[in-house]
Structure 1
Amino acid sequence: MPTRHLTDAQRQGFSRFDGEPSADQLARYFHLDQTDRDLIGTLRGDHNRLGFTVMLTSARFLGAFPVSPSEIPASVLATVIEQLALEPATDVDAYFAGSRRIRHLALIRTHCGFTDFGDNAVARFRLTRWLYALCWSGDERPGPLIDRAAAWLIANKVLLPGVTVVERLVGRIRDRARTRLWRHLVASLSDDQRARIAALFDDGDTSTFAALDALRTVPSKRMPTELFRHLDRLDAVRAFNLRPAPPRGVPATTLERLARVARVSKPSAIAALQEPRRTATVAALFHTLEAAAQDDAAELAEVLLADLVKGAEAADKQDRLRSLRDLDGAAMLLHAMGLLVLTDDVLPLNEWRDVLFERLPRPDIEAAMSKVEAIAKPAESKPYDQLRRKWRGARKLFFEITNRIETDAAPGGKNVKAAISYLKGVDDWSSLAKMRGAPTAAIPKAWRQHVLDHEGSVRDPKAYVFAIIDAWRLAIKHRDVFAKPGIRYGDPRRGMLEGESWHNSRLMVARALGRSLEADTEIDGLSRLLDEAYRHVVARAGHNPDLRFETVADKTGIVVTPLDKLDESESLRALRGAVQTRMPKAGMPDIFLEVMARTGFAKSFTHLSERQATVEHFEISLCATLVGGACNIGLEPVVRPEIAALRRDRLSWVNQNFIRPETIAAANAAIVAAHNRLDIVRHWGAGEVASADGMRFVAPSSAIHAGPNPKYYGQERGVTWYNMISNQFSGLAGAVIPGTLRDSLVVLALLLEQETELDPLEIMTDTAAYSDAIFGLFWLLGYRFSPRLADIGGAKLWRIDRQASYGQFDEIAWGRIKINLIRENWSDLIRLAGSIKLGHLKAAGVMRMLQVKDRPTTLAKALSELGRIIKTLHILRYIDDRPFRRRILFQLNRQELRHKLGRRVHHGDRGEIRSPLRQGQEEQLGVLGLALNSIVHWNAVYMQETVRQLSEAGAPPLPADIARLSPIFWRHINFLGSYDFSVPDAVANGGLRPLRQPNSEWDF
């Protein structure tokens, strides 16, 4: 069992001051109440009172007593001296030199309730049980567990033991939780299943394990043949007949983490595991193997059917372009006929047809009508003629999909499910006799002209199949139809609190959300808030120079004057120049290695077995791998055969076993935490605000997890890296999405699933990333959604009080909120939000389920009505508050600047993503996010040092100027050329590189 989980720097900083406490920390932990003052008043001598107070407040803040006066920050001494009304020159050194300190520590233990860890068996038991619950639920990374254990001890007035004691305690609990999990999984297997798993590792028969290795393979090409091969693998998984029943009490996240190890580890590595871990690992694999295989099959099926339809639409468009000449001639003739009928007043009423045919021969008119009928199509018509030419391939593809992927349906997909069930029972899909009675409710409106006759029955069986193909791909996209079993493509409603579990937890959920279970209480509060907002904006409208009303075509709209560029003072320009010209020159390896040393994020990269790396110079190997991924250059440019840590086999081993989405997220969390502790960062924000936006990348043509968008990808396909950045410039989370987004399905998921210590409460996005439902769900969960409103002129405002008069806004606020719909579904709205808050439902799946525009559920309608209230409040604030608009603009500009830096870093291979697999894309773009955070943190460290030196030189920068600096700049960073992985000794020992002296015109 490893006993060292922290870096040397983290061990040295354990239970010690890490720089100056913040103002909030000083107010919370170092404030003296009357009880404290009474106790301190019994002491004699100013130095004794000062020393005792420092010991007491430090115990509350650190969970430990300082051992020397050099450890105590100046701000702590100043705060204590001010409260005790002592002379500023009071010396605390004499206190540490005397013997009273030992007696005072005993007094603090006795009178203030502090206990030693070794003496408090009850606290040790409670802490152990709490940590065990965290490990069992899946939160078992040792670094965060140690931090949480220390925080728990401090909160419960237990003095921290040595760091080794806490490390060993966490290590024992993690091992105990893992062992219990392994034994639990093994115990859930039948004797036959245990024997079959053991047979996989029979030394005399390697074919069985080779077959298992093939079952784990994921599809890698966007081709029908690849889908057929994968469906064969799916059938083989089912035929293996080794799907254990899910063990009760084992969290799904814990099971999935263990299964992920089995999916990506080499067979030899699994075979080398000791029992019961080996059997448990394979059992976890089979718990999720069919669901994961169905996910892969459903994803590939969705994109292949989309390619089929979109390819037919493109071919139909080309055919129409080629036939425009014929259509033009026919249209001109019919135009002449219409002109003759409408303008010639001398046509005899009883002979007008004869006169018409004299001027325009009847055969010509009939020919023109035939051409129009053949070429012209309704606006929503489907390219059936083109699809019919692909009947054989499409029929085989959809037959395999419907018969070999097991699916179920939500209420919105029941009609599609009925159509699929009917098709499964028909052997000849082209037979009209057999397809005549097929259910027609699932047929999309645009297909009905091709499929149905005047009686509403099927008249063209092939058109029916294509109509159901179109309906199925949309249903699987919205999860109206879902894979069963499935994970990513599974039932989005799975995990929703209901029945007894909801009844028992409803009060706790309401408290966690900060909402009332009484609908009228919340509705009355929102009604008052909306009415007050309207009246406030109306009262200020005449004095708001940015707001005006314009009427176009009898329709009144709002116009908000765009923001002007904010002027920069001379002092700001001088400070920016002073900072940027003093930054040390560095390359990506320098930045990674230095940030690695300062934050210890290398410890976050654990092996697939979740053990720490023990090889020599692991940090250098990790750095080279990260540089290759972030810069999109691969491993070849960083390989050095003469250096053991940079050999190809070492780098490949690190890349395959240590670079995973969860390790990247943990490393990012370490950087964000270190960044948050920098003094200069406080000038930029406290992390309470974040923004989300997408960065686009072209992907390989064979990539399954990719989508089209001519605006960004031309004729190719691509992915969007949707990422979130705090107002401290640090990246919090990211997700890879095929193609591009219209309404963001992942904003809330990024917010809820990000693992950093920051907890943003306000989220800003661009215009395209919102809908009414998102406003409502954010509000229910206690967050504020603040998108930029580029289309404010067309915004629709909503009201609750129909009788209220809001001046000029009466012409715009014509939307009426359906209060009864919210009231009737309030309990379900709280249940939905609580299920998401507690982690029972995935936010991305919920948003996908809610944003079905053509047939939303009643719950989705109620959520949208609630969202319209919140959206109207946002619009009113947006048009009334110029600083609010500028704050949104600043935050979105930060994100755009981060994306520009991302383009510079990700320069290799034309900046395109080369991995065709979803996991590879997530890992590569996750590494890019890690690189961006490293650059931002590295820049901020040296910006802080520059500010310090300027202050010492007698020219302290203004706080307002520091607040407008940005750590996102890169002129001093080299992204190209050769890569050096050596670190100066001073930097390796925790020091800083020397700042440059601006002594040339180029520097300025």
Structure 2
Amino acid sequence: MPVEFLTSEQKDQYGQFTVEPSPEQLAKYFLFDDHDRSLIFRHRGQHNRLGFAIQLGTLRFLGTFLSDPTEVPVNVYQYVAKQLNIDIGDLACYRDGESRWDHTSEICKAFGYTYFNDQPIHWKLVRWLYTRAWLSTERPSILFDITTARCVDQKIILPGVTILERLISQVRDRANLMLWKKLSHLPNSEQRNRLENILKPDSQHRQSVLDLLRRSPTNPSVSGLLKAIERLKVIRSLGAQNWNLSHIPIGRIRMLARYASMAMEQVFSTMARGANRKDEKTRLRTIRDLDSAARKLGEACSLLLDENVSATDLRKIIFSKIPKNDLESSVQTVASLTKPQGQTVAFDELFRNYSTVRRYLPKLMETLQFYANSAGQSAVRIWEFLAASESKSGKHKYSDAPLDGISPFWRKLVTKDLTNTIDPCGYTFWAIDRMYDALKKHDIYVRDSQHYGDPREQLLQGSAWETARPQILRMLEWPSSAEEALEPLAKELDQAYRKAAERWADNPVVRIESFAGHDRLILSPLDKLEESESVKILRNQVRSLLPRIDLPELILEVDQWTNFTAAFTHISQGDSRMKDLNISSCAILIARSCNIGLDPVVKPSISSLEYDRLTWVEQNYFRTETITKANAALVAYHAPLELAQVWGGGEVASADGLRFVIPVKTIHSGPNPKYFGAGRGVTYYNFTSDQFMGFHGIVIPGTIRDSLYLLEGILEQQTVLQPKEIMTDTAGYSDIIFGLFGLLGYQFSPRIADVGSLRFWRFDPNADYGELNKLAKHRIRKDIIGRYWDDMLRVAGSLKLGTVNSTQLIRTLQRDGKPTMLARVIGELGRIFKTKHLLMVMDDPNYRRKILTQLNRGESRHNLARNVFYGKKGELHQAYREGQEDQLGALGLVVNAIILWNTRYMAIALDALRKEGKTIDEADVQRLSPLGFDHINIVGRYSFHLPKEIEHGALRPLMKIDIK
């Protein structure tokens, strides 16, 4: 049990005045009413009255008495003395006298304060603390702060720091012991033996079964899927899925659990892509034969179309030019080398994998049970028939096979032409194709699966929705009726149309042109915003003043300001700390963010940088949740800085993807030749505020459509920033996203590449919008919005309360390009917000510039991240999703540390320039950026040592000032 979890600095600050109380705090804690004054003035002598008053205010402010009651800030002396009309004198006699001890007892009795060990106060506090520790997973330092605040609130005099620290450690230890005790009673004796056996090292692999189970397959192949199935079987054989965990808090279950996802979808898609690639290679090898056959057929067709050729002699003329045998051969060649219309899979190549599929299919059917909604019932019925056929034999076992929804192309492959019997190979692949398609649409699902579950089951329903409905309406600020909600939206859209129409004649960047009978909006691109000479000069001057620094020292210095490394807590939640843990943490951040591994930062002569120590810290302290908390600390420190506020208030943000090639085998990657060449990779979809700081990031295999993950990043981010307007590129755009953003109270402002191809929507078909009437031809259907209004609110409320994952829900609503009715209605609402956005884009150049500026900030941040992530050619070598998230999260954390360091020193540089007499235009300051890195040495020097003056809070001196 780690008893000591507070730093020496935290202990020194406990129960003491660390800074002067603010005027508001003085008024709250040191302002005395008539009752207070009557007690104060009972005492003789000004020093007793002043000492009594200071002790009373100190107790209210700190929650305890000072060992030396005179060690209070000067402004407290002055405030109390002036209020009581007492001259400030020497209180040494009061400090050394006996009356001060009598005063503490008098104050406690008069104002209802109790001592920490008094009963039943102490017992109630411990019971409250134990309940909190049991239900939550808060680390000890947070529990310490919460307990201190509770003591102050309930007038319990704070004990010594070590007493409270020891109590919290003991209570947390009791809560952990209770958790392990409850968990230990879940398995029976046989299960206990199995659990003990998986801890024993295997003689063959020299690892325990548990170590082997922790490693999921990395190869998206049949062998990888077989390993995943066997892994699942071993885990299920322990019987843990039958344990009743209802009496254990969900927070503790999530803390202990590591969820995994299945690999079936990737295996089939990989197999289909492989078949297509082989087919394409075969087609390329036979392209000459196809060309020759096509030319002969073309020559025959030209004779057929020649009106000068007699119809009676047509066959004779064709065969005289092209022998009949050659023509028949050409027809057969074209038939064999071309695909039927609508065929998306190379069936011949795919069917060669039948024996491979038979290796894993029976085990997969035996292991997983699928469930379906109404749209997926036929796919599950086909799958279950295929599974049942495994136990049958004979040539008629497929005679009653269901063929619901089979396409003509698949029917030709599944049934034999003459006998109309089922071909097992064709039927198997058709069943897999149906399951694969339904899985992507979430029409079929696996219960309790994070990736393949049914998000619709997680929406608020029944009594839970009715109970939460009033609260959600207040939270989202929506009325309960659609009519009341749509009325102001209709007025806003009408005003936007009229405003744009009035300014149409004076707007030189827009015009309407007709193409193929359709009117299209033509929007001229923004002119490049030229930088003034004063901006260039200011940027160069600020840049030249910034101190030169190595990246490791920069991270350590930022930690001195923010103590962000305190967020890295031990995985056991014991908060085990050791000397110079911040140095070890910073070294690991360098190793991960620079993609160089531990070797360059290891220093055998320094205990905090020894290899074993770094490995231990990396394994126990670095994970997604601790990186997220550390990042939140940086954002919280940066947000209120004056220069950061000049750039933005944190209400605006952008989202964009940063691509990384992954050269190692992994199921958590995807192909895209544009970004990854012949290999595979991931997208780090990250979110950047208008203050340049990154506040969230999501790792996406391959390059899946960005809009799927947009809401997830906004809803799940954990920083002090509360962005309300989000910018993206075209990839983040869809009507459904506009609708969901609008429902949740966000403004979606994407940069859309081809505005002219989009539709404009209106409420009133008779309204006259001048030239815009040519565009506004489509009408918003208020009727279906009204019909599904409550369902839309239920979706928005579920997203807001976090009961459903937004990404999985959007996948389900869209169903692979075929939206459900609810998705269509949300998209219908989204058309209102989309049309308002389009009207603003065409009418307000400042709005377009704002979007472009924010997107450029995100792209520039990516440039900085690329320069930090220089090791191993910038390729990500993590095979597991958790490792990818942790490493890219560390990269985002280090980039934010650079931005914070730059922001603070840029502000100092600006102040220095002003002191030298330089006039600085605030508009020029807004054009500055904290994303520069020329003054930062990122490569090669890894010294984790700060000068003494920096360790004690001083800042580095600027470079020599030259304002010429």
Task: Give the TM bin, normalised by the shorter chain.
Answer: 0.7 to 0.9
| Seq. identity, % | 38
Which residue does 1:887 correspond to in 2? 850
CA distance in 1, matches of 2:771, 2:32: 59
**1:832-851 equivalences in 2 (<5 Å):** 832-851=795-814
Do the aligned partners of 2:115 and 2:156 also contact (CA within 8 Å) in 1? no
With over 3 angstroms needed to count, the CA separation of the structure-2 counterparts of 1:116 and 1:368, relative to structure 1, is: farther
Deviations 1:590-642 (A, max 9, x none): 11211122111111111111223433222222222111111111011111222
Given residue 215 of structure 1, which amino acid in structure 2 is its aligned partner?
L
**Is the aligned partner of 1:368 residue 2:366?**
no
Which residue does 1:801 correspond to in 2? 764
**1:577-656 equivalences in 2 (<5 Å):** 577-656=540-619
Q: 1:13 Cα deviation (Å)?
A: 7.6
With over 3 angstroms needed to count, the CA separation of the structure-2 counterparts of 1:121 and 1:591, relative to structure 1, is: farther
Which residue does 1:229 correspond to in 2? 227
With over 3 angstroms needed to count, the CA separation of the structure-2 counterparts of 1:244 and 1:389, relative to structure 1, is: closer
Which residue does 2:716 correspond to in 1? 753
Q: 1:823 Cα deviation (Å)?
A: 1.7
With over 3 angstroms needed to count, the CA separation of the structure-2 counterparts of 1:712 and 1:647, relative to structure 1, is: same
With over 3 angstroms needed to count, the CA separation of the structure-2 counterparts of 1:570 and 1:649, relative to structure 1, is: same
With over 3 angstroms needed to count, the CA separation of the structure-2 counterparts of 1:662 and 1:701, relative to structure 1, is: same
SS at match of 2:513: strand
Deviations 1:834-880 (A, max 9, x none): 12211211222212222214443222222222222222222222222
With over 3 angstroms needed to count, the CA separation of the structure-2 counterparts of 1:223 and 1:361, relative to structure 1, is: closer
Q: 1:464 Cα deviation (Å)?
A: 2.8
CA distance in 2, matches of 1:949, 1:64: 43
Given residue 492 of structure 1, which amino acid in structure 2 is its aligned partner?
P
Selected match of 2:732 from 747, 769, 785: 769
Do the aligned partners of 1:412 and 1:855 also contact (CA within 8 Å) in 2? no
Deviations 1:648-704 (A, max 9, x none): 111111111111111111111111111123222111112111111111111024111
**1:429-444 equivalences in 2 (<5 Å):** 433-441=396-404, 443=406
CA distance in 2, matches of 1:822, 1:748: 21
Do the aligned partners of 1:478 and 1:848 also contact (CA within 8 Å) in 2? yes
Do the aligned partners of 2:814 and 2:820 also contact (CA within 8 Å) in 1? no
CA distance in 2, matches of 1:793, 1:396: 52
Given residue 750 of structure 1, which amino acid in structure 2 is its aligned partner?
G
Which residue does 1:693 correspond to in 2? 656
CA distance in 1, matches of 2:174, 2:542: 51
Q: 1:324 Cα deviation (Å)?
A: 2.2
Which residue does 1:867 correspond to in 2? 830
Instruction: State which drifts further: 515-524 or 961-970.
Output: 515-524
Which residue does 1:944 correspond to in 2? 907
Which residue does 2:49 correspond to in 1? none
With over 3 angstroms needed to count, the CA separation of the structure-2 counterparts of 1:152 and 1:516, relative to structure 1, is: farther
Which residue does 2:43 correspond to in 1? none
Which residue does 1:241 correspond to in 2? 239
With over 3 angstroms needed to count, the CA separation of the structure-2 counterparts of 1:410 and 1:57, relative to structure 1, is: farther
Which residue does 2:690 correspond to in 1? 727
With over 3 angstroms needed to count, the CA separation of the structure-2 counterparts of 1:563 and 1:309, relative to structure 1, is: same
Which residue does 1:977 correspond to in 2? 940
Given residue 339 of structure 2, which amino acid in structure 1 is its aligned partner?
K
Q: 1:903 Cα deviation (Å)?
A: 0.8
Which residue does 1:48 correspond to in 2? none
Q: 1:159 Cα deviation (Å)?
A: 11
SS at match of 1:331: helix
Do the aligned partners of 1:558 and 1:793 also contact (CA within 8 Å) in 2? yes
SS at match of 2:696: strand
Given residue 770 of structure 1, which amino acid in structure 2 is its aligned partner?
Y
SS at match of 2:659: strand
Instruction: State which drifts further: 157-166 or 602-611.
Output: 157-166
* TM-score (norm: length of structure 1): 0.82
Paired residues, what number?
A: 927
With over 3 angstroms needed to count, the CA separation of the structure-2 counterparts of 1:322 and 1:906, relative to structure 1, is: same
Which residue does 1:386 correspond to in 2? 349
Given residue 592 of structure 1, which amino acid in structure 2 is its aligned partner?
I
CA distance in 1, matches of 2:413, 2:201: 61
Selected match of 2:282 from 313, 316, 319: 319
CA distance in 1, matches of 2:625, 2:249: 17
CA distance in 2, matches of 1:500, 1:961: 56
SS at match of 1:597: helix
With over 3 angstroms needed to count, the CA separation of the structure-2 counterparts of 1:163 and 1:762, relative to structure 1, is: farther
CA distance in 1, matches of 2:605, 2:383: 61
Given residue 465 of structure 2, which amino acid in structure 1 is its aligned partner?
W
Q: 1:405 Cα deviation (Å)?
A: 3.1
CA distance in 2, matches of 1:346, 1:480: 58
SS at match of 2:503: helix
With over 3 angstroms needed to count, the CA separation of the structure-2 counterparts of 1:573 and 1:621, relative to structure 1, is: same
Gaps of 5+ in 2: 36-53, 92-102
Q: 1:353 Cα deviation (Å)?
A: 3.8
Q: 1:387 Cα deviation (Å)?
A: 1.1
**Is the aligned partner of 1:660 residue 2:623?**
yes
Which residue does 2:876 correspond to in 1? 913
Selected match of 1:343 from 306, 327, 349: 306
Q: 1:238 Cα deviation (Å)?
A: 2.2
SS at match of 1:427: helix
With over 3 angstroms needed to count, the CA separation of the structure-2 counterparts of 1:887 and 1:124, relative to structure 1, is: farther
Do the aligned partners of 1:588 and 1:975 also contact (CA within 8 Å) in 2? yes
Do the aligned partners of 2:187 and 2:240 also contact (CA within 8 Å) in 1? no
Given residue 473 of structure 2, which amino acid in structure 1 is its aligned partner?
A
Q: 1:998 Cα deviation (Å)?
A: 5.4
With over 3 angstroms needed to count, the CA separation of the structure-2 counterparts of 1:63 and 1:821, relative to structure 1, is: farther
Given residue 371 of structure 1, which amino acid in structure 2 is its aligned partner?
T
Which residue does 1:676 correspond to in 2? 639
Q: 1:918 Cα deviation (Å)?
A: 1.2
SS at match of 2:584: helix
Larger Cα Rg: Structure 1 or Structure 2?
A: 2
Instruction: State which drifts further: 894-903 or 187-196.
Output: 187-196
With over 3 angstroms needed to count, the CA separation of the structure-2 counterparts of 1:645 and 1:745, relative to structure 1, is: same
Do the aligned partners of 1:224 and 1:397 also contact (CA within 8 Å) in 2? yes
SS at match of 2:700: strand
CA distance in 1, matches of 2:654, 2:946: 35
Do the aligned partners of 2:588 and 2:614 also contact (CA within 8 Å) in 1? yes
Deviations 1:260-285 (A, max 9, x none): 4xxxxxxxxxxxxxxxxxxxxxxxxx
CA distance in 1, matches of 2:535, 2:886: 39
CA distance in 1, matches of 2:831, 2:128: 42
SS at match of 2:291: helix
Q: 1:431 Cα deviation (Å)?
A: 8.5
Which residue does 1:489 correspond to in 2? 452
CA distance in 1, matches of 2:618, 2:611: 10
Instruction: State which drifts further: 423-432 or 515-524.
Output: 423-432
Q: 1:728 Cα deviation (Å)?
A: 1.2
CA distance in 1, matches of 2:341, 2:140: 60
Do the aligned partners of 1:797 and 1:813 also contact (CA within 8 Å) in 2? yes
**Is the aligned partner of 1:739 residue 2:697?**
no
Gaps of 5+ in 1: 40-53, 81-89, 100-105, 261-291
With over 3 angstroms needed to count, the CA separation of the structure-2 counterparts of 1:194 and 1:336, relative to structure 1, is: closer
SS at match of 1:982: coil
Do the aligned partners of 1:680 and 1:944 also contact (CA within 8 Å) in 2? yes
SS at match of 1:364: helix
Which residue does 2:50 correspond to in 1? none
With over 3 angstroms needed to count, the CA separation of the structure-2 counterparts of 1:380 and 1:142, relative to structure 1, is: farther
CA distance in 2, matches of 1:692, 1:972: 27
Do the aligned partners of 1:902 and 1:928 also contact (CA within 8 Å) in 2? yes
Q: 1:906 Cα deviation (Å)?
A: 0.6
